[in-house]
Chain A
Amino acid sequence: DIQMTQSPSSLSAAVGDRVTITCRASQAISNSLAWYQQNPGRAPKLLLSAASRLEGGVPSRFSGSGSGTDYTLTINSLQPEDFATYYCQQYFTTPRTFGQGTKLEIK
């Protein structure tokens, strides 16, 4: 199985800040990476696929990059609704696997 390691596991930031979350795969995944946002008690919401392709309706302050084994999610100018938990997911091989999550908290 491909292991997905996110860092940091938690992050404290203020409204207006720029934050970056990193996801490292245990082997190359050829940009087959998705990012999700999850609020407590809710299903995850897809933000990006193919490492950098923004889903419809997702604000442009969210962006993704990376290649090979290393990927990043960047959120520019944090808004109050962005404080949530973020997960990466690889879909290069089965089983589909997720990072352990990054909890973004308000400072």
Chain B
Amino acid sequence: QVQLVQSGVEVRKPGASVKVSCQASGYTFTDYNIHWLRQAPGQGLEWLGRIKTKNGGTNFAQKFRGRVIMTRDTSNSTVFMELSSLTSDDTAIYFCARDKDAEYFPYWGQGARVTVSS
């Protein structure tokens, strides 16, 4: 069965960077894109961007361009999301998700809690 397993809790100071991983299993890794979304405490869902696992191509939401990097390691079926210049507004649970025949999300990681605090 499809599984996405994410790295754990992270705490960072303002201005720092954080790198979160998402390891996929249960399907052919390069057949589907991986997306990153986040949810701030008590808030809704926000899409950060996607990585095309076949060729590493990326697309980001405008507000994150220049601050987010997404990479993949096909040998380990793992995707990484790095967010830099963190502020308290970046405190959230970060989810990876896999798409299907279109860019909706039947499969989600368990989420990685990132806290930005001085």
Interface residues in chain A, defined as those with a beta carbon under 8 Å from any beta carbon in chain B: 1, 32, 34, 36, 43-44, 46, 49-50, 55, 87, 89, 91, 94-101
Contacts and interface: CB of A to CB of B under 8 A. Distances in A.
Interface of B: 35, 44-47, 49, 59, 61-62, 95, 97, 100, 102-106, 108-111
State the main secondary structure of chain A at its contact with B: loop
A75 B103 CA distance: 24
Given A49-B102, A100-B44, 18 more contacts: A34-B105, A43-B97, A43-B108, A43-B109, A43-B110, A44-B45, A46-B106, A50-B102, A87-B44, A91-B102, A91-B104, A94-B61, A95-B61, A95-B62, A96-B35, A96-B47, A98-B46, A101-B45
A101 B35 contact: no
A36 B108 CA distance: 12
Contacts of A100: 44
Contacts, number: 51
A87 B108 CA distance: 15
A101 B100 contact: no
B102 A32 contact: yes
Contacts of B46: 98
Contacts of A87: 44-45
B104 A46 contact: yes
Contacts of B61: 94-95
B7 to A, nearest CB: 15
Contacts of B49: 95
